[in-house]
Amino acid sequence: MAVAEIVVVPLGTGSPSISEYVAQCLEILAKNERIKYQLTPMGTIVEGEVSDILRLVQEMHEVPFKNGALRVSTSLRLDERRDKELSMEGKVKAVLEKL
Amino acid sequence: MAVAEIVVVPLGTGSPSISEYVAQCLEILAKNERIKYQLTPMGTIVEGEVSDILRLVQEMHEVPFKNGALRVSTSLRLDERRDKELSMEGKVKAVLEKL
Amino acid sequence: MAVAEIVVVPLGTGSPSISEYVAQCLEILAKNERIKYQLTPMGTIVEGEVSDILRLVQEMHEVPFKNGALRVSTSLRLDERRDKELSMEGKVKAVLEKL
Amino acid sequence: MAVAEIVVVPLGTGSPSISEYVAQCLEILAKNERIKYQLTPMGTIVEGEVSDILRLVQEMHEVPFKNGALRVSTSLRLDERRDKELSMEGKVKAVLEKL
């Protein structure tokens, strides 16, 4: 189980707004029963198996193209531990406990 | 006003855990009245002026070194609009409204 | 065809050096006939189909685990255009022509 | 001395091309005697003191705004070691030696 952040940004669309694309990415996630997710102001954080996350990246990367964008920059940051289970909740809890 | 994400990761510390370093970064933020912040499972999101955010990056980058780390990888993603004010709350709201 | 950057970083290995892991990632690339690549001081840049690149991310993400690391942070930045073919060489050339 | 990668991307400019902005960023670098740099297909890699690099990030972040962009996404990845001097050349050499 890994925790990751995915950011999908269309380039050259003529509008500085990207929330419509992010909303459509969340709709893909809402139908995906294998991945938990959390929307943040700087990206979408997901929790799941690495292979499922990589498939999701490809699906989300397509969203702006389906909406007419000519160029898309997609970034993924993947965090995985093999000594213990990582979860979105657990990662935040581990920090808050040390404040 | 910009919204940004900062991630500070020490390398080679001998432990896979980094929550202690993140907690100390949050303590720097708690004393900084010019910057709002939100902890997420994949980084710390901040809202403030670009110059204040860049100063904060340098402070947070130092935290693992002060704790004996020999190598630190710090990443910043900065999002700024000049046609309207960006805020952490506004960015999330803009997406949720389109679901 | 997309151009991407992949960065694989093990956490908590006890040594600040990661060049051994990067070298093993390059050996995976050397056997992959579908992807061109270029090593840089901050990551490995690749050129290929998105699906091939995502498969490569999973292979490279495994390298530190195979060498005993307990935690791995892997990041991918993917750049794809559908109005014209992107290549590593073409992207640099497009900038140099404008200097 | 740190090694870093800086990527400046304008959003909503109406054109998928960003090479003009990257070229202007390189012209800033060409006048900066304190920082070495290398253009790659996925960003600009620099070598210098952290404080100089952070000042450079702010300068480069401004370039698309000066050219009429309404939104800019700038990312920085900073790599610093305190046990030995990091350089662009040294980082690549350390990997190639292990192939």
Residue from the list B70, B72, B78 with its beta carbon closest to the beta carbon of D61: B78
- Report the share of chain D in percent with pLDDT over 90: 99
Selected for mutation to probe chain C from A77, A84, A85 (highest C CB count within 10 Å) is A77
Q: What are the tens digits of pLDDT across the range B4-42?
A: 999 999 999 999 999 999 999 999 999 999 999 999 999
Average pLDDT of the residues of chain B: 97
User: Are the beta carbons of A95 and B17 separated by less than 8 Å?
Assistant: no
Give the neighbours of chain B: at least 3 Cβ pairs within 8 Å: A, C, D
pLDDT band, residue C62 (cuts 50/70/90): very high
pLDDT (0 to 100) of residue A25: 97
Average pLDDT over residues D26-38: 97
Selected for mutation to probe chain D from A7, A11, A13 (highest D CB count within 10 Å) is A11
CATH code that applies to domain C2-96? 3.30.70.930
Q: State which residues of chain A have pLDDT below 50.
A: none
User: Are the beta carbons of C3 and D97 separated by less than 8 Å?
Assistant: no
Selected for mutation to probe chain D from C95, C96, C97 (highest D CB count within 10 Å) is C95
Secondary structure, 3-state, chain D: CEEEEEEEEEECCCCCCCHHHHHHHHHHHHCCCCCEEEEECCEEEEEECHHHHHHHHHHHHHHHHHCCCCEEEEEEEEEEECCCCCCHHHHHHHHHCCC
User: Are the beta carbons of A58 and C54 separated by less than 8 Å?
Assistant: yes
Residue of C nearest to A73 (CA): C79
- Report the share of chain C in percent with pLDDT over 70: 100
Report the candidate in B90, B94, B58, B64 with the shortest Cα–Cα distance to residue B76: B58
Domain boundaries, chain A: 2-96
Contacts of D85 (CB under 8 A, 6+ apart): D1
pLDDT band, residue D19 (cuts 50/70/90): very high
Q: CA-CA distance, C19 to C38, in Å (whole number)?
A: 15
User: Are the beta carbons of D75 and B75 separated by less than 8 Å?
Assistant: yes
Chain C residues with CB-CB distance to A83 below 8 A: 70-71
